[in-house]
Copies of this chain bind each other. A is one copy, B any other.
């Protein structure tokens, strides 16, 4: 049986190993630690002495006890493969999380996400706005309450005019990104087991929201340029108990498809007649390369049947998680669900964003982004067509910053994912974008950070896919 001070020393060592205390960090005072561990100060002093002897900590005169700095081990090989490589059985859900995680790891060239280009965000201006908002005391001292920060809702109501939406600030509910908006709207209109019709392929975040809520997915054939086939949708409505339809009319992720104004109007009419609510995901609406924004489907809504969802994550601040919904006649239900799930979003970021939007520089920011994304997408597209095996087809989007690639059918992008990662490149395999695990020979690539590194990565992928055909 070890002595008490040895036990304390062991626990402290464990805390250091776990990363609770960093190397070089000051440890608590003897008195404080004795309170925390509920032992005498003598025991702590002895424990600290032992740890000093063991080289775990060092004493700095007049200052206190510090975790010893670890000498870098120059002989150790640098990790080239940070995680074990054994194939593990994964569901698509787990795979999505894996791709998301890999796509955060700076050891790789990360083409697997749909992330805004950091160099195109008005960072300095937004930071100033947040600093200003943080001086507002109530945004700190008070729980915000749905629908959330009025100033931001006013700014968003103005912004929505360019999408043809004439809504009042009262019609808007702020959410934690568009993903939460979609989840809340799905919950407002569906119950467990209900069928939701979606485009195919479509953003895995939509699929996962549907699956997580215990709903069932019906994939409607969709054209990579024109979006969801309304004929196929009508057929489905006739034959299936579809409870809701979830569509991204503008620049669908992953294909970039963009529904025509006429089709948007017709979609709204069909669903109004069928009394099936339409959930519209408009996160890419502001990122069409053409300066004329198509009207949102919600702009044709006359009966409150459309639940419009969007966010500022794609054009201004992914990290701030500022989304919203205009939920038509489901407004009250969404309001309630938001309150029950997490009360409200942090209002300081909402207020800061409102200050930014009042400043009238958003239009200029958008112009730059549209031009740049159009260029980056075009160049990545050219590179893909050059480097990938013959027979490869690539989407030709009119907005957003992702590309959808169809390889020859024998190339299995899910099976090749690990090997691509070994070679340093992350992409999003096609089956992520389908509940039925379709699109085995497809992948999505993120063009937002196009540059020499991404160019090399496209070359690496091209070689990998060619090898798999050999």
Question: Interface residues, chain A, CB within 8 Å of chain B?
Answer: 11, 14-15, 18-22, 35-37, 93-94, 97, 100-101, 104, 113, 115-116, 118, 121, 123, 126-127, 130-131, 134-135, 137-145, 154, 157-158, 161-162, 166-170, 175-177, 179-180, 183, 192, 205, 208-209, 212, 214, 313, 317-321, 335-337, 339-349, 352
* 30 A/B residue pairs, CB under 8 Å, sorted by A: A11-B166, A14-B166, A15-B161, A18-B157, A18-B168, A19-B169, A20-B167, A20-B168, A94-B336, A97-B336, A104-B145, A118-B138, A121-B140, A127-B140, A130-B134, A134-B134, A134-B352, A140-B320, A141-B317, A176-B345, A180-B341, A183-B342, A192-B192, A192-B214, A212-B341, A319-B346, A319-B347, A320-B346, A320-B348, A348-B349
- Compute how far the CA of A299 lies from the CA of B137 in the bound complex, rounded to whole angstroms: 35
Question: Shortest beta-carbon distance, A7 to chain B, in Å?
Answer: 12
**Which residues of chain B come closer than 8 Å to A20, judged between CB atoms?**
154, 157-158, 161, 167-169
User: For residue A180, which residues in chain B have a CB less than 8 angstroms away from its CB?
Assistant: 341-342
Is there an interface contact between A166 and B15, defined as CB atoms closer than 8 Å?
yes
Q: How far, in angstroms, from A200 to B170 measured CA to CA in the complex?
A: 36
Which of A94, A162, A183, A321 has its CB near the most chain B CB atoms (within 10 A)? A321
Contact A127 B121 (CB under 8 A): no
Is A118 within 8 A of B142, CB to CB? Answer: yes
6 closest A-B pairs by beta carbon, nearest first, are: A18-B168, A118-B141, A176-B342, A130-B134, A180-B342, A20-B157
Q: How far is the CA of A141 from the CA of B119 in the complex (A)?
A: 9
Nearest-CB distance from A124 to chain B (Å)?
Answer: 9
- Chain B residue nearest to A316 (CB atoms) is B140
The answer to whether A209 touches B340 (Cβ under 8 A) is yes
Q: Which of B113, B126, B346 contacts A140 (CB 8 A)?
A: B126
Chain B nearest CB, measured from A327 CB (Å): 15
Checking B36, B167, B169, B208 against A161 with a beta-carbon cut-off of 8 angstroms, the contacting residue is B36
Q: A20-B157, A192-B192 are in contact. List 10 more A-B contacts (CB 8 A).
A: A15-B157, A37-B161, A123-B140, A130-B131, A131-B134, A140-B318, A140-B319, A143-B318, A319-B347, A321-B345
